[in-house]
Amino acid sequence: MKSTRFRMIALAAALVAAAAGAGCRKARPPAPAAGDAGAPADAGTAARPELGTPALSEADWAGLPDEEVASRSGITLDECRLALAEGDGIRITVCDFIREVNALPPRYRARFDSLERRKELLDDMISLAVMEQEAKRLGLDQDPETRFYLERLLADKMEAELTAGLRKEIRQAITPADEEAYFASHQDQFNRPELASAAHILVATEAEARELIARLTAPDADRNLFATLAAEKSLDAETKGRGGSLSYFTRPDVHSDRYPAVDPALAAVVFEMQNIGDIYPQPVRTTRGFHVLKLTGKRAAVARTLDQVRPAVRVGIEEERFQAAWKRKLEEIQAQLGIELHPENLADVHPTLPSPEELERAHHVHEPPPLPPGPGGGAVRTLPPPGPSSRPQPAPAPVTP
């Protein structure tokens, strides 16, 4: 069953490549080997590029026609179309090989200076082509599961192209005025007020608070005593489990949406304290009771200029505009296709939900099972599970000061 499924997936990948205009099957990148990256060129290399040697890397080689591949590689069209392997329904050319190599990341391309490496890649390409033909012979190209994967792959490719086009247009349209306006309206993302953090123990009476302060400031007090007492004595159920931590907060007169609010009486006292780890010598009274305070951190204010954060500002603008542009594009395509929505019918849909046992098993699974061996002993490169790969992403989190 696993073998059949892999063949269907491999076929789906090959069909997508063909639909996209790619003439060769995608082979796996080479495994590292000592000396590959710096290996000398084969003896007898002429001034003009060796037949089949990839030219310098350029974007999107996978979709280039043979004429363009030959031109960029410094060889004739006839040389580019020479067969490296051929058989019943299979023909892999020099053009196919060059496209395959130049579609790889630079760190992999550098290894193909070796003739042995080029032969290994060709073997992989042949293996995938053979698998495609065998899948077609078995009728797997008409299998519903194969069609399912193919449709998902085509949809993902379309989404990726639309996304790239929209983002390019948006980036090119961003002006200095846009950057200034975004920076001015997102000060909390790029600047930071003065901050302090503390831990507290909330008790009902002043006497109990003073007793705790005495224990915490004793010369032989254990460094972990505060957290222990917070867990045992504090009336604040929210913080007692984390040692009484209040996290970072601002001065009482500074408002920020990024940091939690703390009782002004507590904040005022904490900002008076100087040394990290100090226990405030007096109980602090609020409407909730009496607090024992420990200073756990301080951070100075940070004020940045637009020039310092301009790249992040541009990313923020792009993400905001992309969300709206993506929504408009989907609505436009849906209108062209005459899509009608019937969400009321979902009321009758009852998917099979996982049992508690299945959820428990899934919770303990951290790594996928090993891939089965592929041609030449390498791991089979299966496709990811069906699903979107290029959906619009949410705006980036605020820049950490």
pLDDT of res. 105: 86
For the entire predicted model, the pTM comes to 0.56
Q: What is the CATH number of the domain that holds 229?
A: 3.10.50.40
- Interatomic CA distance for residues 7 and 167, integer angstroms: 35
The 3-state DSSP class for residue 324 equals helix
Print burial letters for 141-176: b (CB count within 10 Å at least 16), e (below 16).
bebeebeebbebbeebbebeebbeebbeebeeeeee
Q: Which two tokens stand for residue 84?
A: 């490296």
Q: What pLDDT was estimated at residue 373?
A: 42
The domain containing residue 69 runs over which residues?
2-142
Whether 15 is in a domain gets the answer yes
318 with 286, same domain: the answer is no
In this predicted model, what pLDDT tens digit does every residue of 324-354 receive, in sequence order? 999 999 999 999 999 998 989 988 888 888 8
Digit-coded pLDDT (tens) for 131-147:
999 998 999 888 899 89
Among residues 299, 329, 352, the one where a domain terminates is: 299
Question: What's the pLDDT score for residue 388?
Answer: 39
Report which of 268, 324, 322, 273 is spatially closest to residue 294, judged by C-alpha positions: 273
Question: 3-state DSSP call for residue 195?
Answer: strand
**Beta pairing partners, 184:** none
**Do residues 179 and 197 share a domain?**
no
Check whether residue 132 and residue 181 sit in a common domain: no
| Residue 174 and residue 202 in one domain | no
Q: What span, in angstroms and rounded, lies between the C-alpha atoms of 353 and 359?
A: 10
Q: What does the alpha-carbon distance between residue 311 and residue 325 come to, in Å, rounded to a whole number?
A: 21
Pairwise CA distance, residues 212 & 203, whole Å: 10
The lowest-confidence range among 75-89, 129-143, 202-216, 370-384 is: 370-384
Among 274, 286, 295, smallest CA distance to 202 is for 286
Does one domain contain both 38 and 68?
A: yes
The count of domains in the chain is: 3
What is the CB-side half-sphere exposure of residue 182 using CA atoms within 13 A?
24
Residue 1 confidence class, pLDDT cut points 50, 70, 90? very low
Q: Is residue 312 located within the same domain as residue 336?
A: yes
Looking at the structure, tell me whether residues 26 and 51 fall in a common domain: yes
Same domain flag for 316 and 197: no
Three-class SS of residue 52?
coil
Return the exposure string of 285-302: e unless at least 16 CB atoms fall within 10 Å of the residue's CB, then b: eeeebbbbbbbbebeeee
Average pLDDT in the chain: 81
27 in any annotated domain: yes
What is the Cα 248 distance to its own chain's centre?
Answer: 28
